[in-house]
Chain A
Amino acid sequence: MSSEPMIVFDGVEKRFGDNVVLSELDFTVRAGEHVTLIGPSGSGKTTILRLLMTLEKVNKGTIKVAGRYLSHMERRGKLVPADEKYSREVRKRIGMVFQQFNLFPNMTVRGNLIEGPTRVLGLSKDEANARAEDLLDLVGLRERIDEHPSRLSGGQQQRVAIARALAMRPDVLLLDEVTSALDPELVAGVLKLLRDIGESTDITILCVTHEMGFARDFSHRVMMFDGGRVIEDAPPDKLFTDPDHERTRSFLHAVLER
């Protein structure tokens, strides 16, 4: 894990109408770091992922990924809001896995996996297929490659979704509550896969989750959010056992009491 900053949020504010979801948000994630965002609903955690994925636009402040502005572009020395074409270029280095998997039902598993690599990265069909097969081996679903997503269980679909994101060889991977929509017995399989990926690659990972055990094992850092601000930012050992802030304490108490 290098000390290069991979993600930099600088003075970011995000509003939905009158509702301020994030205010004056500053944080940095280094290359290869695994950071988990925890906190109550509405605290802005998912919004951060959506901003990185350019599904939303910032109202104030800037976001940089791998040294390049994501939210803005430089035009004649000034910063202007980024246009679609520019965003797409920077966004190619970021992948996302969604709570609802969002696999394309009109394509097979294979189709889902080769779509991005062929259409966006310019790989040949053979190269893309080879990559798809390797990734499916990694997630343990190689034999389902020519089936449609509707034939797979939720956990299997999510593993395919993870493979699909990895097929783009992203520098940054965003995980948005990826196990929240799964039956409890399927959650462990997905979490194990994520741990393996975390160990075997140096992808920078930003993760929003309610799975505290996973957060503890998996992360280098945990950030506690509330009301659009970072309340606490510490390694998991510290944050889970001896948090500095009362809010963190009460949140963990409520969540871990289940």
Chain B
Amino acid sequence: MIWDWGYAIEILPALLRGLLVTLLATLLGSLLAFTLGLVFAVVRRNRVPVLDPLVRAFVEFWRSTPLLVQAFLIFYVLPGYGITLSPLTAGVLALGLHYACYTSEVYRAGIDAVPRGQWEAATALSLPRSRVWLGVVLPQAVPRVLPALGNYVISMFKEVPLLLAIGVVEVVTVAQQLTAQSFSPVEPLTLAGLLFLLISYPASLAVRRLERRVGVV
């Protein structure tokens, strides 16, 4: 009774549909993490008065605590204060917020790596603040940190399954549902695991290649 190929092939489509949700959650979560992380980094770098210490405290706190508990907080507690979110939305929000704490540090490292002379030359030309960031600093900071950001996307992808605890129907949820129907956990979970491997291993190789091209911060 080790492996039933017939069953395995039969359940594959359902698992792939679940995988699409996993990928969607990863995509949306990453977009949120990239944008919000950048906001955090710019706030901190500019030492915006009230916001800077708040952001700093929040980032330290949020990335030292489990994503699962944060997801529960967002999904179960917010409705009590008037904000009801679907499982996927809550999940994406939790992922994005958690990973923004990582990406903000990545961006900060990239920004710090831009030579001081670039800031000074921009000052010498009297460029407005917005232009210094958008035209000079960020175009130099971001490319260098793309490999690190890529690694975090891959990490996020592998953490999406914990959202099954708040009802998101992604690949591992589907695997569990199939197991409940057929009483055989072997094929669904093993296939789910292999699907993860099939996506994240090539992805991490691609990131490593990118790292060699771009250099590491």
Contact = CB atoms under 8 A, between A and B. Distances in A.
A240 B126 CA distance: 36
A115 interface: yes
6 contacts: A91-B126, A95-B124, A102-B118, A102-B121, A106-B139, A120-B125
A84 B130 CA distance: 13
B120 A104 contact: no
A116 B117 contact: no
Interface of A: 53-55, 84, 88, 91-92, 94-96, 98, 100, 102-107, 115-116, 119-120, 164-165, 168
B184 interface: no
A84 B129 CA distance: 10
A183 B206 CA distance: 40
User: For this complex, into which size category does the number of interface residues on chain B fall?
Assistant: 10 to 19
Contacts of A105: 140
Nearest to B124: A96
Nearest to B139: A106
Interface string B113-151: 001011011111111110100011001100000000000
B120 A55 contact: yes
Contacts of B117: 98, 100, 102
Contacts of B122: 104
B121 A120 contact: no
A115 B120 contact: no
Contacts of B120: 53, 55, 96, 98, 102
A163 B121 CA distance: 13
The interface residues of chain A, by DSSP majority, are classed as loop
A25 B216 CA distance: 45
Contacts of B140: 104-106
Nearest to B130: A119
**Which of A54, A95, A105 neighbours the largest number of chain B CB atoms within 10 Å of its CB?**
A105
B127 A115 contact: yes
A95 B121 CA distance: 10
A96 B119 CA distance: 13
A104 B123 contact: no
B128 A119 contact: yes
Given A88-B128, A100-B117, A115-B131, 6 more contacts: A96-B124, A102-B118, A106-B136, A116-B125, A120-B125, A168-B125
B139 A120 contact: no
B123 A55 contact: yes
Contacts of A92: 126
A168 B122 CA distance: 12
Contacts of A164: 125
A120 B128 contact: yes
Contacts of A94: 124
Contact of B126 (A100, A102, A116): A116
A84 B139 CA distance: 24
A116 B139 CA distance: 17
Contacts of B127: 115-116, 119-120
A115 B123 contact: no
B123 to A, nearest CB: 6
Contacts of A165: 124
A120 B123 contact: no
Given A98-B117, A119-B131, A104 B136 contact: yes
A105 B135 CA distance: 11
B123 A53 contact: yes
B126 A115 contact: no
